[in-house]
Structure 1
Amino acid sequence: MNLFRSKKNTKIPPLIVKNTLLFAISQAFQGMPMQLAVTTGASMVAFLTGSKALAGIPGMLISGSRFLVAFPTGFITDKYGRKKGMYISLILGVIACAILSFSTSISSVPIMFVGFTILGLGFGANTQLRVAAGDMYPVKLRASGIGTVLTFSVFGAFLSPFLISLVNLDCINLFVFDVCLTDLNLDEYDELTKIWGFVPIFLIPIFIFIYLIKPDPIDVAKNLDKYWGKEYKSLQDSKSIDHIPFNIKNVFRDKVNLAAFFSYSVAQSMMVMVMFLTSLIMVEKGYDYLAVSFTVSIHVVGMFAFSSLVGIVTDSLGRKKVSILGMITLAVGCFITPITSNYFVITLGLFLIGLGWSGSNVASTSMIADRNPVEQRGRVTGLNDMSSGAFSVLFTLIGPVIANFTSLTIICFIATFISLVPILLLISLNELKPGQFK
């Protein structure tokens, strides 16, 4: 299986392959709600409130709630295991989808905002999956392992268009809404009510996949030699920050951590802002939800389809170079997305934004795992997600306002410039060889 091989064809233990696949499948299905939020969130708010200036609220609520839950979830996963974070994410996701379905059925803006807030809490908890993926691999394969898990997320990119098509099939409507749920008169409700209502059906089985992941990845990280062989015992965390009690100041004093935080925060916030605004513009230009969903699917392909390759390159060239390339690609995507209303150009722009984010995500996650002890990675990743959440809240709040008074083109050009700023900090890093910084 080439997907699980490094450039030196290091043999991956079967147990690690099994756990990686289970995490990957879980990630694929758990990405559905996020894609639907991107596809429908801005237009839902604009339709119910009558104001495009408020279109960034779903993104702001999701990012803000991710900010709130990131560090507490990291604490839980550091203390009780990574799987606990996955369970929390799933439970919150199921609850959020049910609330969003109900909110659209009664056209309630406040309830819809509650739904997006809880959805963001679920997304925030789900980010600990990156930590789990990194835990299962030694330094020289760490980025490849993270990339492999993220690559499988691309399958989830096409689940949302499939779901949208599914709820519009006459046979499904007849069986579900006219036979099984006839007393609820759900056939009278709109498309969004049905779409969000169907999502939990896809999420609930994931509890089984997470249960089957044994041992917990944090236990693998603490005993790499047990699962990978004795030669990895001396390599475990050899280049990490000194094993001292967790201290936020020490985390932020480390230049590698700071570069990882800043680059990922910019990549995440620029991607979220442009993504949400573009979906609204596409709907206004006459594209239906299915067309928008396919565009978002291609964007998700950029985010995840090449993650395994990005991981291999990150393990070969180094975290610093891949992160810089990711920010440049992101900037190019932000620049070309608004220059025309052509469907294919918009789609290409969003694809490049996703690809640039992928480079930043894999590289920054690897840097955090490289520089921090096993017992602290969850919390450090939580700080990273808090940082990206704060950036995203800021830009998803002011972005639509600026776009409303100027244009999408202006805000995307601003995003282009901001995307290049982290390169100044990344260039200053001294990476002796992949994963090892001076």
Structure 2
Amino acid sequence: MSTAVVPGIEEIARVQGRTVRVLAAGQVLGGVSFGATVSLGALLAADLSGEESLSGFATAAVTLGAALCAIPLARLAGVRGRRFALTLGNAFALAGIAIVILSAALRLFPLLLAGVILIGAGNAGNLQSRFAATDLATPRRRGRDLGTVVWATTVGGVLGPLMITPGEALGAVVGMPPLTGAYLFSIVAQVAALVLYLVALRPDPLALAQRIALSAGPSGPVVESDRPVAARYAMLAVAASHVVMASVMAMTPIHLSHIAHAAHGGHAVETTEITLLVGTTIALHVLGMYGASPLFGWLADRIGRVTTILAGLGILTLALGTLTLWPDEQPAVVVGLFLLGLGWSAGTVAGSALLTESTPIARRPRRQGLSDTTMTASAAVGSVLAGIVLGGPGYGALALIALAIVAVTALLSPLGRR
């Protein structure tokens, strides 16, 4: 690794500001693709498989793809830089979108899962953006910079689900298979994100942070510390927040379709009515996930990482309590999903900041990759089990099981302060 001239503090601050802006723009574009996949995946899986109990396999596949690629992409980032890992993720997502559209045309459920796995691989790259925002950040701004990049996903994440209905209309015009029209917007967004990272993410933030850490001069914004117990709790907090959010959210489109059919006395319901209901609900959920992330980043910097994690767990408790008590009321489901997103945001932002500052720069890519793998793999298993629970005890029971995970994570919070 080169130890050539290291920029001064002011130059590093300028690079960090530009890096955060580029990452934020990339997250806006990436959110369009992922938002559409989250909304359409369960519906496509149920349609192509003919079994609603298999609808959770779509979310499981996207999280499995992210889990399989998180560590390899993190290691590539450590060797080749963040830019290489992020653009490779965009390429995976583009290939996955093409396969999903093909699977819908051929009516092949296994091919759908293969495409969604590749989209998940692309999402593993997107997840790295939040860590890329911390590579050059000072400890006093680490949470806010991370939160800003996470917040940027709001725009694309909210637009993605809302583009389902107009995407269906556009897709019908150009002859796309049903439930795939919105992917036209995803393709454009992914190509734009790939070009953006290639052109604008220079110098590479992780490569520069590694140079600073190896330099003989002052280390600047890079703080070298190793607190493995706190790092492990940070991974737990992030994984628990994610598995709770993903498993409940994955079943919500199917559950909302049940509510819509019940409201019509069990008669057939127009597809556009269901997609509008699902798209609006998921858009509000995504707004909760990303919209308040700068606030949670600021809180993590001001009141502490673990305290903010506990606040997120409290919000998750409120969300799951609402879904447990009123599982078949559409307004309660909408409110519960919005709160679920808020709780996820607090846990993910504060947990990611805690993991970064508890790990020296040389070990960060590996631990960050391990964290993302743990987070996404647990969500993949949770999504599959959620489909089984939805087909048995029901949606309310699923929320109650998720509540137990939140309680255990809160009880272990003293580990994060070691």
TM-score class normalised by the smaller sequence = 0.7 to 0.9
Following superposition, the deviation at residue 355 of structure 1 comes to: 0.7
- Alpha-carbon shift at residue 312 of structure 1 (Å): 0.8
Report if aligned partners of 2:229, 2:415 keep a CA contact under 8 Å in 1: no
The offset of 1:95, in angstroms, is 0.9
**1:278 CA displacement:** 0.9
User: What is the match of residue 353 of structure 1?
Assistant: 340
Residue type of the alignment partner of 1:293: G
Residue 56 of structure 1: aligned partner: 56
Correspondent of 1:304 among 277, 290, 298: 290
Question: Map of 1:35-434 to 2, 5 A cutoff?
Answer: 35-169=35-169, 177=174, 186=175, 189-210=176-197, 211-222=199-210, 233=219, 236-240=222-226, 254-286=228-260, 287-337=273-323, 339-430=326-417
Matches within 5 A, 1:8-23: 13-23=13-23
> For residues 145 and 66 of structure 2, what CA distance do their matches in structure 1 show?
24
State the distance in 2 between where 1:109 and 1:69 align: 22
> What secondary structure, in the 3-state scheme, does the structure 1 residue paired with 2:356 have?
helix
> How far apart, CA to CA, are the structure 2 residues paired with 1:223 and 1:355?
36
TM-score, with structure 1 as normaliser: 0.84
Report if the CA contact (8 A) 1:98-1:197 is conserved: no
Secondary structure of residue in 2 paired with 1:121? helix
- The structural deviation recorded for 1:136 is 2.5
| Cα distance between partner residues in 2 of 1:209 and 1:235 | 26
Does the CA-based 8 Å contact 2:356-2:364 persist in structure 1? yes
CA shift, 1:376, in A, is: 2.1
Preserved contact between residue 81 and residue 218 of structure 1 (Cα < 8 Å): yes
Q: Secondary structure at the match of 1:215?
A: coil
Q: 1:106 to 1:309 in 2, by over 3 A?
A: same
Distance in 2 (alpha carbons) for counterparts of 1:198 and 1:118: 17
Gaps of 5+ in 2: 1-9, 261-272
Q: 1:370 to 1:96 in 2, by over 3 A?
A: same
Deviation for aligned residue 1:129: 1.0
Tell me, which stretches of 5 or more residues in structure 1 are unaligned?
1-9, 178-185, 242-253, 431-437
Distance 1:42 1:167, change over 3 A: closer
Name the SS for the 1:31 alignment partner.
helix
CA distance in structure 1 between the aligned counterparts of 2:402 and 2:234, rounded to whole angstroms? 19
Aligned to 1:182: none
Contact 2:169–2:181 (CA under 8 A) maintained in structure 1: no
Judge conservation of contact 1:337–1:347 (CA < 8 Å) in 2. no
* Aligned-residue offset at 1:159: 2.1
TM-fit CA distance, 1:293: 1.1
Equivalent residue of 1:101, what SS?
helix
2:269 maps to what in 1?
none
TM-score, L = length of structure 2: 0.88
What is the CA RMSD across the aligned residues, in angstroms?
Answer: 2.3
Query: Cα 1:139–1:220, aligned 2, differ >3 Å: closer, same or farther?
Result: farther
* Deviation digits for residues 105-132 of structure 1 (CA, Å, limit 9, x no counterpart): 2211121111111111111232211210
Aligned-partner Cα distance in 1 for 2:47–2:124: 27
Q: CA deviation at 1:26?
A: 0.6
Query: Which amino acid in 2 is paired with 1:34?
Result: F
Corresponding letter in the other structure for 1:126: N
1:323 positional shift: 0.7
Alpha-carbon shift at residue 169 of structure 1 (Å): 4.8
For 1:45 and 1:234, the matched residues in 2 are separated by: 50
Distance in 2, Cα, partners of 1:397 & 1:45: 12
Structure 2 counterpart SS, 1:360: helix
